Structure 1
Amino acid sequence: MTKVAHGTVTGFKGGEVVVRLDGDDPEAPAGRIPRHLLSWAAFEDPAQVVAVGRRITAEVQGVDARSGRVVLSAKACEDEALYRHLLRARPGDVVTGTVAAVHHFGVFVRLDGEPAHPVYPGTGFVRVPDLTWSRIDHPADVVRPGQRVTGEVIAADSYQGEVVISLKALQEDPWDSLGLAVGEVVAGPVTKVVPLGVFVRVRPAAEGLVHVSDLGGQLVAEGQELTVRVLEVDRVRRRIRLAAAG
């Protein structure tokens, strides 16, 4: 459970802000705010952000077992509206928003009713594996800026000030209706060639591996249609083993 602490800045040490938490021994302040957890704003010196004697509200990140120091994040609580927004997000909630930016590392979503984020174009964030069940080369293969999307909340991340959501969670898992039996012969395009063998798409959202020893000496290239026999379907590990047929 998220815990918020209150205290007073007493000084600076090694780039960190030293905080005497309410209830601390005045001579032994226990709170520390690391530089990267001080503020969303850019700064050169922590003293540009806070002054000695200032009252601080911060989220407790943890306690150093050896030193007993309480690690705090003032950044998490800096934007009150954003922090309240994050606290309201619960895993399993279904949220809707508009795609604000698409990057190779994930997708930012401007959630309906969200406050403005101090740094990012939206408070919602979709990690690449949470976009779709299908294999993709780039998130732009799935979504585009301005597109309306609906997803399920995975977690509220106060470190990044984001609501992590999954679009995939609300999509049907193609493995639930794979309909692929051991011994079945199917055809599909080669999607990737690797030293170990080749991957072949045997269903719209499912690929299997033909090990190099099961290619029968064939030389194949990406995009080539290959007829294969199903050797194994591992539902738990979501793996399909194939062999070239014919």
Structure 2
Amino acid sequence: MNPHEHPELDAFLATLRLGTPMSGTVAAIERFGVFVRLDDGPDHPFFPGVGFISFPELSWRRFSDPSDVVQVGQRVTTEFLQYDTWNMEARLSLRATQPDPFQAFADAVAVGQQLRGRITKVVPFGVFVEVADGVEGLAPLPALGQDGDEVVVVVTDIDRERRRVSLIGRG
């Protein structure tokens, strides 16, 4: 899309800065993300909204369907991430407006601590265990059980930067 063909939209998007709060209404949920019709600024010439939220930016928590997080017509307040000059849209984050459950977990839990959790996914190299609301860790094989099983695990590593928790099964 050529910014010169849509100078009003280009000028609006070029003024936005990282972290700027932006409010609007969810206009459409597509297979690749969510469009938001912003309260401020011009309409988009082709898309249902100038704002766009990719699925990873919807929530800190795992979800299977974006409609579990937002609905068309819902009011949202987001943070501006970047101006996507190719699509002439404002890339937004909904999760940036919410507390990160991982950081609270990392503040409260120490390596070596024993926790109870529920297996959320079994993969060839181990199992994912939900050890706190919105926080999953990986325990390597041998598998501890099946999806939904309650298990006891020990925290072996907490990587704040990569938001990863390593676990080991407690027999």
Q: TM-score, normalised by structure 1?
A: 0.64
SS at match of 1:121: coil
- Structure 1's consecutive aligned runs of 4 or more residues displaced over 6 angstroms after TM superposition are none
Q: Distance in 1 between matches of 2:165 and 2:47?
A: 39
Report the count of equivalent residues: 169
Give 2:20's aligned residue. Answer: 93
**Unpaired runs of 5+ in structure 2?**
none
* Alpha-carbon contact 2:114-2:155 (below 8 Å) kept: yes
Inter-partner Cα distance in structure 2 for 1:211 and 1:199: 9
Tell me by how many angstroms 1:122 deviates.
Answer: 0.2
Correspondence for 2:72: 145
Task: Give the match for residue 132 of structure 1.
Answer: 59
Q: How does 1:55-66 map to 2 (within 5 A)?
A: none
Q: Please, what is the CA RMSD of the aligned residues?
A: 1.6
Q: 2:168 is matched with which residue?
A: 243
Aligned residue in 2 for 1:24 = none
| Contact 2:58–2:69 (Cα < 8 Å) also in 1 | yes
Q: What is the CA-CA distance between 1:161 and the residue it aligns to?
A: 1.3
1:207 correspondence with 2:132? no
User: Percent of pairs identical after alignment?
Assistant: 44
Q: 1: distance between equivalents of 2:8 and 2:83?
A: 14
User: Which of 174, 182, 186 is equivalent to 2:111?
Assistant: 182
Larger CA Rg, structure 1 vs 2: 1
Once the 2 structures are TM-superposed, how far is the Cα of residue 103 of structure 1 from its aligned partner? 2.3
- For residues 172-221 of structure 1, give each alpha carbon's deviation from its aligned partner in whole angstroms, at most 9, with x where no partner exists: 122321112222222222111110011000011110011004x4xx4x22
Matched to 1:145, the amino acid is: V
Matches within 5 A, 1:1-246: 37=1, 75-178=2-105, 179-213=108-142, 215=143, 218=144, 220-246=145-171
Q: Closer, same or farther in 2 for the Cα pair 1:174/1:86, shift >3 Å?
A: same
Question: Equivalent residue of 2:40, what SS?
Answer: coil
Paired residues of 2:131 and 2:137 also in contact (CA < 8 A)? yes
Residue pair 1:104, 1:138 contacting (<8 A) in 2 also: no
For the residue of structure 2 that corresponds to 1:176, the secondary structure is helix
Cα deviations by residue, 1:145-196 (Å, 9 ceiling, x for unpaired): 1111111111112210101111122221223211122222222221111100
Give the alignment's TM-score, normalised by structure 2: 0.90
The 3 A distance-change label for structure 1 pair 162 and 135 is same
